[in-house]
Structure 1
Amino acid sequence: MTSPPTRIVVVGASAAGLATAENLRRLGFDGRLTLIGEETEQPYDRPPLSKQVLSGAWKAERASLRTPEALAALDLELRLGHRATGLDAHRREVVLAGADRIGYDKLVVATGARARTFPGTENVEGVHTLRTMNDAVRLREEFLGLPRLLIVGGGFIGAEAAAVAREMGCEVTLVTDTAAPMENALGPVVGTMLADAHRAAGVQLETGTHVAEVLTQKRRVTGVRLTDGRTLEADVVLVGIGAIPNTEWLQNSPVRTGNGVECDGTLRAGERIWAAGDVASWPDEATGQRIRIEHRTNAGEQGLAVARNLLAGPSEAKPFTTVPYVWSDQYDMKIQVHGRPAGVDGLELVEGDPAERRFTALYHREGQVCAAIGVNSMRALRSLRPLVADRAPWPKTPGLAVPGPVMS
């Protein structure tokens, strides 16, 4: 039987790492607890970066996850501004930049993910990504100059930043390889609604194409060249083409990595090691396929699950299950999604009308409800969540108009 831990180290001081530390204390762990973060800022929330912080509705401090007093009450050894560069699992030590080593009895990997960059633009002025607080502050400063903004990528970050920039008065062009913004994530019905909303707000959409090259002059961005040969001028370029899990520091360790840290169903990644948040990959209970979720709510839920399982030990650990939840604010739309709508067989309207930007709908896959979406319909969407959680059978008859057939 493994002895109870006396020193736990959590690497990653964002939502998942902080949730793990808080829940360890809440569940009775009173030993030495170290929280290591690469950024110098105290733990903050990331979803507001492309919404309230970027728009200026919030000052940066408001995105902090906890007050200094609340952090102090956790009795943490908080090591901010320290990057993990290696793991010596044999000696049970985390290696930091500068060669410092932090010993542990049990380790939690919560290092998250970083923004994917466009090749060759690392030192080009005016080219931005949006993943950190510093990114959001720098990009907002650019927006205040009302530049010609070009956004590469039509996912959550690109679509939300486009809405903020237009509301601030910037000239905005959004380039996406899909037919509409967020179509890959939410499907063509929602994508069409979003495309109409962005065009109505004055965003120039360039769909079904890629950026082949970022154009520069004297190391300052001047525009882009598309794969179809056209060039588009820009003063500022925001690259929103996904994220890469931060696992490089685990090379040469026993921890298996692929698309993230490969955990078992309980989020255990190895002897005395667990993972949580954007970096964690685990087998989905429903499909058996390995998944990794970059959602804020998932980070918090996994922090709680890891704290429980770590203290319980492998023999008493319970599989992690979740109904993923994500939201997006664009113009007058609050878009909320329960479940995983990618790769579905279809989408059926429950109530409302996408043309009016107020509706709920269910996604289905292989005869089961797999996701639900609501636009400006918080209360109505809440009633559909149990169908997603239960993987309710999909009705044989198409064209669902009311939820009755699904709920029976």
Structure 2
Amino acid sequence: MRRPGRREIGAVALVTALVLALGVASTQSPPTALAAPTGPSWDDVQAAKGDVEATRVAVARIVESVGAMNAELEQLRIAALVAGEQLQQSTFDLAQAEQAMATAERRRDAALERADASGQQAAQLAAQLARAGGGDVTMALIVSGDDADDLLYRLGTMSALSTRTDAVLARALQDRNVAAALSEQAGVARDAREEVAAQAETVFAEADALAAQAEQRAAEQRIMLGELSAKLAELTGRSAALEREYLESLENEPPAPGPNPSPSSPSSPGPGAPSPSPSSPGPAPSPSTPAPSPSTPAPSPSSPSPSPSAPPASGPQPNAAAVATAISFARAQVGEPYRLGAAGPNAWDCSGLTMMAYSAAGLAIGGHGSSAQYTRAASRGLLVPYSQVQPGDLIFYSSGGSTSASKYHVTLYIGGGQMIEAPYPGQSVRIVPVRAFDRVGLVARPSG
């Protein structure tokens, strides 16, 4: 995301309130990194070869270390997504504040013009009184100076003014007071803008730092996965590429509960390892279960696609043409990088991708922000239970999957238990199985 300019973050007095409303303070520190186990050393791998039990233990250690890495990256990923959502929400509200300030300035300028015109009328009135021989008092008005306020005051002290004169004077005084009040309001708005500009810069800096940390950790994980894949291949006799596919598939395993989640056991053990014994300290890949292919990932058992026996679809029905266009657009972006606040054409964040996918189909879905897109769908009656999800629906994620909590992530469901997403910093747009962890129970159907 490019650094916001002064004008973009100008009238941003709602930043602090927004962050509090989201329930995540903008000043919170990045999550503490977990001490991820590194898996067995190469010496351990060589020592384990030929020993079924030692091989099983070494494989389990590899799986455990990958799970721990995934848990740490998940913490960073969610923190970065929440920070990105804060930026999107603040950008929306700040744009509204900017518009409101511009409206106030236009009203002020119009009031100043009216005050100037009515003041001119009052000056003309004083001149007419002078020509009519208003005596020493009137002449004193004329020679007292050019100050308009002083002139209006002196006219107000004169006695025996006509009804017309009273009306001119009253209008001039009212216009002057309105202009003064609106000028003061505009000044307050400008002061607030300058004060909150620094806060907006802080929000951006913290979100950017979280994104950079997540991106760096993702890069480190890719390197470590390469090493662990090679070790696993050495133990199982399978190719390193196939073992890497298996280890990468573990990313879709839900993190274990607790402040320091430990890796959960893979639901589909990987290939080529000995069967674990009942006393084994951890799971090992099973030779009978092939590793999933990253090009056609299968749904995780923890996040199944809707059952064929699910209740008949109710609520809005999708527009097939709009859905096809949105999915086609999103598919075309697969492989392009995630970037905080981006909405194309060559980088994306989660809501930027869904927004532009449906924009390609001629539909506005609520702007750039996961919560904004969910709120718009809710206001238009376009939310349906996840059990009735159909291709083209938007799947949302929030803390604990709560429907009332702010949404930190949104994806596009494409059918078959899969979704397209711009996941997080350091990872490109991709097609993955639907994750159950933190998934909201309602999906949006923008084309309904």
The verdict on a shared fold, with TM-score over 0.5 as the criterion, is no
Structure richer in helix, relative to its length: 2
Q: Which has the larger radius of gyration?
A: 2
Structure richer in strand, relative to its length: 1
Name the TM tier (shorter chain).
under 0.3
